[in-house]
Amino acid sequence: MGDIDLITTIFDSDFPITGSLSIIKEWIIDYLLTDIYDISDETPQFDENYIMTKPMIYLQFMSGQVRNVGIGKVINQTQKAQFENIDVMCWIYVDNNVGGLTRCREIADILKTVIRKNGYLLNQAGLTNPRMGYFREFPKSSYSPVFGGRMLMSFRVLCSYNG
Amino acid sequence: MASGGMKLDVEGFKKQIEEKKKAILLGVKEGFKNGQDYLENIMKFYIEETVYNVYTPVMYDRTYELRDNVTAKVVGNSIYVYVDSTGMDTTADGIPYPYRVLEGHKVHPYEHTPNDGSWAGYMNERNWVEATREEFISHMNQSQQFLQIVRDSIQKRI
């Protein structure tokens, strides 16, 4: 974990899902370099012949519920807005060639630590009240040599629009 | 001498509080109903992960009855999320098939076992209930989504 970098991706109210995923990706890349880890928001496909070259982090959008700001949507004379609570499942995939569960737990530790120390960067980027849940390991399935763990990440975004 | 001060309508105030309490309770119940689909989907996700995705059977075909029968139901002032076993196929000793996995072959013998008498992985007991419940509860404790559905329903009532 090196110097603290500000998140440069700007949250776009019109694209709350893709926008937040891009911000999380940029935030993770600051601590887990992509030449050592793969970080993706595309569903990975593993079969029994899959060969892993580096641990993979997959960000899965779970669900988002919208709610009004205060008792209505109006935030000023020209704009309206709604909050959206978003859950993202953070999957960490490894196999025995890339360090196995030890590496997987290390990644989980790093993510938990940086959200504790530098979670405010996500706040500044528009992902407010970011939280990372328990790390849970999942075993190797019978059709793939890949295993790992997952953690639920949750936060809230403000989606504003003219109206 | 002129009389001053004001009269506080305590009884009227009490009545208003009682009405608000009723409205909040109605909002909570309505929120539970509105959140049923959400809860079912989250439970299905964890059943998929803790039961199905860890193992691909070769000795039998999956029915997905366990996942497909996840139900969220409002009863009184509570909401229950469970697997409804009504109508499921049962074992010889009357246990719905998905529940046999809990205690395994030793307690509820499988009809079909390997011909050579060996012990196959699927015959082991697998406590998917505890694993799923634990994950579901921790998800609910962290995520604001269900609370938000309930809050919105309360807000509409008051």
CB contact under 8 A, B144 and A63: no
CB contact under 8 A, A67 and B152: yes
- pLDDT higher than 60, residue A1: no
Q: Which of B53, B143, B155 is closest, CB to CB, to A152?
A: B143
B97-107 and B128-142 helices, crossing angle to 10°: 130
pLDDT band at A58 (very low <50, low <70, confident <90, very high): very high
Residues in B closer than 8 angstroms to A141, CB to CB, are: 53-56
Distance CA A62, CA B136 (A): 13
CA of A18: how far to CAs of A45, A105, B30, B126, B144, in Å? Answer: 20, 27, 31, 37, 20
- A132 forms beta bridges with A153
Query: What DSSP assignment string belongs to A3-64?
Result: S-----PPP-TT-HHHHHHHHHHHHHHTTS-TTT-EEESSPP---TT---SS-EEEEEEEEE
- A72 forms beta bridges with A69
A positions 72-101 inside 8 Å of B (CB): 85, 87
pLDDT band at B89 (very low <50, low <70, confident <90, very high): confident
- The interface pTM score, or ipTM, of the predicted complex is 0.78
CB contact under 8 A, A154 and B143: yes
Distance CA A78, CA B64 (A): 51
To which residue do tokens 């995705």 refer? B53
pLDDT at A155: 94
Q: Which of B145, B149, B155 is closest, CB to CB, to A87?
A: B145
* Mean pLDDT lowest among A44-48, A107-111, B40-44, B69-73: A44-48
**Selected residue with higher pLDDT from B133 and A76:** B133
> Which residue does chain A place closest to B135, by CA atoms?
A136
CB contact under 8 A, A141 and B54: yes
CB of A90 closer than 8 Å to CB of A155: no
- pLDDT higher than 70, residue A4: no
pLDDT band at B37 (very low <50, low <70, confident <90, very high): very high
Distance CA B158, CA B45 (A): 34
- pLDDT higher than 90, residue A63: no
Read off the pLDDT of each residue in B59-88 and give the average, rounded to a whole number: 89
* Mean pLDDT lowest among A135-139, A152-156, B28-32, B79-83: A135-139
pLDDT band at A70 (very low <50, low <70, confident <90, very high): low
For residue B13, what are the contacts with CB-CB under 8 A and spacing of at least 6?
A: none
Distance CA B99, CA B129 (A): 9
CB of A82 closer than 8 Å to CB of A159: yes
- Any CB–CB contact under 8 A between B127 and chain A? no
Residue A107 CB coordination number (10 Å): 26
- pLDDT higher than 60, residue B1: no
CB contact under 8 A, B139 and A152: yes
A positions 46-65 inside 8 Å of B (CB): 62-65
Residue A68 parent element (H or E): strand A56-68
pLDDT at A135: 93
- pLDDT higher than 90, residue B7: no
Kindly tell me the burial class for residue A9, based on how many C-beta atoms sit within 10 Å of its own C-beta (0-12, 13-18, 19 or more).
middle
- What is the widest separation between alpha-carbon atoms in chain B? 107
pLDDT at A25: 92
